[in-house]
Chain A
Amino acid sequence: MIDPQPYDVVIVSDLRFPGGSSASIAEEIKAQAAGGLRTGLVHVDSPIITKAMPVNPRIQALVDGGLADLLATDAETIAGVAVLRHPGVFEKMPAGFPSLRADHLVLVANQVPDDGTPHYVYDPAVVHRNVAHLTGYEPLWAPISDRVRRSLLNADRLLPVTSWNWVNVIDPGEWGEPRTGMAGERPVIGRHSRPSVLKWPEDPERLRAAYPTDGSSKVRILGGGKAVESLLGSLPPGWDVLPFGSVEPADFLRTIDFFVYQHHSSLVEAFGRAVLEALASGAVAVVPPELASTFGSACLYAEPEEVRGLVADYAADANRFATQSARGHETVRRRFSYEVHLRRLAYLRGQAAPVPAKTGVRSPTRTRPIRPLFVCTNGVGVGHLNRVSAIARRSSEWTRPVILTMCTAVQIPEFAGVEVEWFPTPAHSGLTKPQWNNRLGARLDQLIELHDSDIVVFDGAWPFKGLLESRGRHPDLPFVWCRRGGSKQHAGDATPRARRFDVVIVPGEMAGDEPGPDAETNAVSVGPILLVDDIDVLDPVEAKLRLGLDPELDAVLVQLGAGNINNIGPLQELVVQTLRRQPHLQICVSRSAISDRVSGLDCVVEISEYPLSRLYSAFMFAVTACGYNTFHEVVACGLPTLTIPNTSTITDDQDRRAALAAKEGIVLYAHPDDPPEITRSIETLFDPEVRRSISTRCAEVFPGNGAADAMLLIEELALRRRR
């Protein structure tokens, strides 16, 4: 007997749902097609839809377009990954179900067991038992949000639930772009949802508070007109109400500025697909605070009574509106894109096979996270720790990175949400070099074992002997060297050491395009690796308040390094003296996370915020050293800057970086031994035209943050080993 042709992914669900469930299936089909994966669909009649209905038109169109095959329910089906969606579909044993053979099986929980409605209710224990019976495997439950996870585990603590979320995905490019401002003078508030009273606040006063009836905002809604009528008695005059399904949601969303979604107090919104679509369209979303765990800073959060004030604030400030729109759009691109879906499918394929179901036995099935161990040295600043934290911060939900640091600035990995282990530098350990290397090797061996590491990523100028010895003891484990370019000529030939690594990641260097004095054959270049993205940067007023500054007055940042290897005192004094000539200027001197120095200067504000680049928006311009991180951060943020390189570093060629960058027009440059030039350059930066020109040039040449690409590569290497 010939086996049927296997599919990469088979999706099993009721394909008739009118709303978000089918929309999510459609998006996953498109993502799979974009990734070159073959998709099969199996329709199962669920007890939820009782009337005769065809397959959802969005899904049908994709089948007609050849992006997926609709399989017969009684066919024998082979799948790399079988995705069963919507637990309620499986609460009763369906009349037909395919003979399914799958390398991996996941049950996507896109609803809470009890969401406050009388219809969408399921018992996780019953569904689990049914799916095990139907498929022959113990299903792995993948909730679409933290709310669903909590709810599942509340219902059944022993349910095998992934520690990460099967978030809904979307192609942001299909929906729109970040907005530069509102469409007209008056804000347009709108929303789209399936027509249900549960999708609206039940209290008329609260409904009117969120969706004004007094004309202060224009209100447009797609779907739900009858629900509003039943709640308010009639549709408010002036509202523009379109029937559900009469317009494509993407077209509708382009016509609104603010997507305001407030719902019935008893409804538990599992995810909020409509919110995701609104963010992808570039609208600014105002939603209930319960959705914060799903959307983070992408949305604004408010109770119905707070909506009007929030909309007015953002409508009055075009910059703020544009920043929030960009933040929402970027979040969709980063956390809810097709790429995320393809990555989780790749991750699932790297897992152990599913456990055959046994009657009455609950399997211990769970996914094993990808576990990278980052190792970084302590340089003259916090650059290495900053870089590995930047990469680790971009890890997938199913990845659990750990950083072994030799630097005490734990605020940085804390900001990135990454756990750390500690190892002292040779100087701090009190050991001889050979003793230290032996101990480092032993410590790495133990960490690899304790943390069950899949890959080791080292960031430092020069790999230590102890690290390479540990590498020798783990020949099957991928080792990666993240090696910043821009080293001084005398730094030595790193090629022999580079060959001890599977891959060398070379973070982009905007000042000069060569990777360093030597080029390794196993090197992969990515963009400059930065901890902070645009979406992390606070708006200028918020940033100034955070720093304790007067929002009405200009501020300048002075950040000349940690001062651990060079005496920055006189230089700092000179810079501050020059700045003081300008009246009413707030001069901020940053204190490094690893410096014991205090500036001792009068009339300056000493700041020690981490990561400071989130607050660069507070400053008119900056005067900084030219280390890799600071330099790339100011350019990425478009902060006009005078760079005064620290020429005492051992390997980092700051002087060369600063000079090249000045030629590109992205910074001003002055040598630390040239006080007249320093003074002249600072005075130049008070000219708004000069600052505008530098900011524009920075935006033109910045190639984008390479941290996510680096993390993607690391996860792929780790998974390749598992397979």
Chain B
Amino acid sequence: MNDVTLLVALGADDVVRLVELASSVPEGHRRVVVVTSSRDWEPLRQAGLRWEYVLDQEAWERLDHDRPWVDYARRRLQGVMAAWSPASVLQLAAESVPCELAFAFLPAAAVAPAPPAERKQNKDLAQLHRRLGQLEARQRHLAKEHERLALAQAVDALVARSLPPGERAAVISRGDPLLASQETLSHFPQEPGGAWAGFYPSNGREAVAHIQALLARGIRYLLVPPPAAWWLDHYPELAERLRHGGTIAGYGAGGTLFCLEGHASG
């Protein structure tokens, strides 16, 4: 019987990790074919793996086709299925890959009830699936943590670079203590004592009122980090206040630092 396992990992760029996963496929399903949109093929070759390559969306768009990428990818995956007739398919979830691509695998053997001799192997595969799911969840968690730390570092760098000495700033923080960890930084919106207010302003006028409260406390700078950029669309009065009643004191990966009083000091 065909013992090929397709490990479909579109959107996953970490080929070294794919090699590890492919190596952990149980005995009996050892003929792993990795389906990847990464062009980092050398690790796969050196691990003795086989692979199929599917152009990613960016590459497809550079080719200036009328046909949408999903269409190409679905046809391509169907071609892969026809070529290998795999006994099973493992699909790694990736946010960048539309779920409709899963339909490409509908004719797969994995969909049909397994004959008795294959049940043990399918059980192994089910365990592997669970393990992969756990790893994916862990990876997502770590990725978010990494983003959070990177943002905090960028905010610190921006403040160090652009906040004039002796000044204080508030940061739209969602209450994240990492973002407001410096003495010169506090949360926005904030309670009179400087703690996070615990809610978003209900409208733009309320957001502007929080700005006025900041100024009353001697805080003349507001930092809008990239994840909070939506505030400027959602609260037009706030955007108006910042654009016309303030100036940009600095910007970078940490976001945009506004001086709330028309001109930056220092």
Contact = CB atoms under 8 A, between A and B. Distances in A.
Interface of A: 163, 369, 371, 400, 402, 408, 410, 414, 419-422, 424, 428-430, 439, 442-443, 446, 450-452, 596
B79 A424 contact: no
8 contacts: A163-B64, A369-B63, A408-B42, A410-B41, A419-B59, A430-B31, A450-B75, A451-B65
A484 B53 CA distance: 28
Given A442-B79, A442-B83, A450-B76, A408 B45 contact: yes
A420 B64 CA distance: 15
Nearest to A402: B63
B50 interface: yes
B3 to A, nearest CB: 12
Interface residues of B, number: 23
Given A408-B45, A424-B50, A452 B65 contact: yes
B46 interface: yes
A428 B63 contact: no
Contacts of A400: 62-64
B55 interface: yes
Contacts of B50: 424, 428-430
Contacts, number: 50
B51 interface: yes
Smallest CB-CB A-B distances: 10 pairs: A422-B53, A408-B41, A163-B64, A400-B63, A410-B39, A446-B79, A419-B59, A369-B64, A408-B45, A400-B64
Interface in B37-60: 39, 41-42, 45-46, 50-53, 55, 59
A498 to B, nearest CB: 29
Contacts of A369: 63-64
Contact of A446 (B39, B62, B75): B75
Interface of B: 31, 39, 41-42, 45-46, 50-53, 55, 59, 62-65, 67, 72, 75-76, 79, 82-83
A293 B76 CA distance: 34
Name A's interface SS.
mixed
B79 A443 contact: yes
Given A419-B55, A596-B46, 20 more contacts: A371-B63, A400-B62, A402-B63, A408-B42, A408-B45, A410-B39, A410-B41, A414-B39, A419-B59, A420-B39, A421-B53, A428-B45, A429-B50, A439-B83, A443-B79, A443-B83, A446-B79, A451-B65, A452-B65, A452-B67
Contact of B55 (A371, A421, A596): A421
Contacts of A402: 63
A414 B62 CA distance: 13
Nearest to B45: A408
A421 B179 CA distance: 44
B72 A450 contact: yes
Nearest to B83: A439
Contacts of A439: 83
B51 A422 contact: yes
Nearest to A414: B39
Contacts of B82: 442
A452 B66 CA distance: 10
A408 B64 CA distance: 25
A111 to B, nearest CB: 24
A371 B62 CA distance: 12
Nearest to B51: A422
Contacts of A410: 39, 41
Among A371, A408, A421, A428: residue with most chain B CB under 10 A: A408
Nearest to A421: B53
B147 to A, nearest CB: 28
A69 to B, nearest CB: 36
Contacts of A430: 31, 50
Nearest to B31: A430
A422 B42 CA distance: 13
A422 B75 CA distance: 15
